Amino acid sequence: MGQELLLNGLNGSLKLERAGTGATARIVLPGNKISQPVETCKVPLNAGSPLTLSSEGRPEGVGRFEVSGGECPLRLDVLEGAVLVQSLSGSVCTFAAADCATTPTGLWGPAAATLITRAGEFEASRGGADRAVRENYKLMSQRLRGPELRPVVTEQAAFSSDREQMCRTYAREGAHGFCNLRFTEARALALATRLGVNTSTAAPSASAAPPRPRRKPPVEGMNPDSGSTPFADQ
């Protein structure tokens, strides 16, 4: 809350703010001119004023909000220090009056310069997050059968390529690994939620959780709110 986040750590602006018991967002979408695609442009949604966010609960384990209506409806999944944004009206939002075409889908997070010094921390946490994904998927595959299992298998098969596609454009990702970690944590939480794990309470992070014997319950994933009360539930 209150952090200014950038699309792929590069450009645009997204800032979540509290508004009573809810939340708002100030969003500036980066893009390219329709008339001259080689030139960049920016579009402040709602003319730069705060956008009211509708809370969609925590269907995938993290707080989810939506910006409905307007020329570019969005879904916002709030991770730890980042927001995963998905356009709900196709991959490109076009603003004819501003002569600007934008692609808002992606991870909005801090600039790369602020992440480099934490590369070691991210690398250590990544191992735990990967383990959480594997163990939770293994348990889910044991519980489900037939048609129920098929979509989960498809998602898991595409997980690595989806992560690569999402994170390859994050600024200096190879030097810090921030996007890969957050995307993996989100997958671990999504699987844990389907397994019925209560992710709304504080849980040890993937980096802090002690190693678990193979026959014990799976790692529950990373708590995106760092132990604080999720503002979606306030």
Whether 143 and 203 map to the same domain: the answer is yes
At which of 80, 110, 140 does a domain end? 110
Same domain, 87 and 187: no
Domain final position from 68, 83, 110: 110
* 140 and 90 co-located in one domain: no
Residue that is last in its domain, among 81, 110, 139 = 110
Cβ atoms of 3 and 15 closer than 8 Å: yes
- Encoding tokens for residue 24? 């708002």
105 and 124 both lie in a single domain: no
> Strand 106-109 vs strand 11-19: parallel, antiparallel, or unpaired?
unpaired
Among candidate residues 2, 62, 8, the one with its CA nearest the CA of residue 26: 2
Same domain, 82 and 179: no
Domain identity same for 197 and 154: yes
In this structure, the answer to whether residues 143 and 196 fall within a common structural domain is: yes
Instruction: Give the domain range for residue 96.
Output: 5-110
**pTM for the whole thing?**
0.83
User: Digits of tens for pLDDT over the chain (234 positions)?
Assistant: 899 999 999 999 999 999 988 999 999 999 999 999 999 999 999 999 999 999 999 999 999 999 988 889 999 999 999 999 999 988 899 999 999 999 999 999 999 999 999 999 999 999 999 999 999 999 999 998 888 889 999 999 999 999 999 999 999 999 999 999 999 999 999 999 999 865 443 333 333 333 344 444 445 554 444 344 444 444
